[in-house]
Chains A and B, each alone.
Chain A
Amino acid sequence: EIVLTQSPATLSLSPGERATLSCRASQSVSSYLAWYQQKPGQAPRLLIYDASNRATGIPARFSGSGSGTDFTLTISSLEPEDFAVYYCQQRSNWPPGGTFGQGTKVEIK
């Protein structure tokens, strides 16, 4: 089973600052990695797929990079609506399904 480890668990930043979130896989997932945003009481929203492709309607301040085992989600300048929990997900060993990281909470400092 491929395990995804996200760091840090919590990131405390101010609006306008740059956020850098990490996701590390226990073995190579090539570029088969996605990022989701989840706000309290809401379903997750797909942000990035295949490591670096923005999903439909996602603002350009969100970018993804990486391949193999190390991936990064960058939010170039935090907007108030960006404070949320972010999950990475891999689909490298599909089927059966993908696995998620444990999440990184981006909170207001």
Chain B
Amino acid sequence: EVQLVESGGGLVQPGGSLRLSCAASGFTFSSYWMSWVRQAPGKGLEWVANIKQDGSEKYYVDSVKGRFTISRDNAKNSLYLQMNSLRAEDTAVYYCARDQEAIAVAAYFDYWGQGTLVTVSS
């Protein structure tokens, strides 16, 4: 059974940092592009970042470029999101999501974690 379990969310002050983790199981993690998708309270979905199977390609939504870094450790079946210089508008539930296709890329998301809440507030 495919499972994605996020952790690391919490309350942080504006300008602070946080590192999210996503533990994957039930599939060959190293074969899939992985993404972070967020959802502000009561709002819609926003793709944040993604990373290729071997970590050689990474992409970000404009609003987080230069502040967030996505990474992965295939030996540990884990995905990460390092978030620096956090702003109030980064407050959201952050989901880890798997690409639908192995090896290639579909850029659709067929498995999601339960999400972890990040609150940026003083």
Q: Which residues of A are interface residues toward B (Cβ below 8 A)?
A: 32, 34, 36, 38, 42-46, 49, 55-56, 87, 89, 91, 94-103
Contact = CB atoms under 8 A, between A and B. Distances in A.
A46 B45 contact: no
Query: Interface majority SS on B: helix, strand, loop or mixed?
Result: strand
Given A43-B115, A46-B100, A98 B46 contact: no
Contact-residue bracket for chain B: 20 to 34
B107 A44 contact: no
B114 interface: yes
B112 A44 contact: yes
A100 B45 contact: yes
A100 B59 contact: no
B108 to A, nearest CB: 5
A55 B49 CA distance: 23
Given A96-B60, A97-B35, A97-B50, A89 B108 contact: yes
Contacts of A43: 95, 112-115
B47 interface: yes
Interface of B: 35, 44-50, 57, 59-61, 95, 100, 105-110, 112-115
Which 7 A-B pairs rank lowest in CB-CB distance, beginning with the nearest?
A96-B59, A91-B107, A43-B112, A97-B47, A100-B45, A94-B107, A34-B108
Contacts of B108: 34, 46, 49, 89, 91, 98
Contact of B110 (A42, A46, A102): A46
A96 B45 contact: no
B50 A96 contact: yes
Output the residue of B61, B112, B113, B114 with the most chain A CB within 10 A.
Answer: B112
B44 A101 contact: yes
A45 B95 CA distance: 12
Q: Which of B35, B59, B108 has the most CB of A within 10 A?
A: B108
B109 A100 contact: no
A54 B57 CA distance: 29
B6 to A, nearest CB: 10
Interface centre among A32, A55, A94, A103 (most CB of B within 10 A): A94
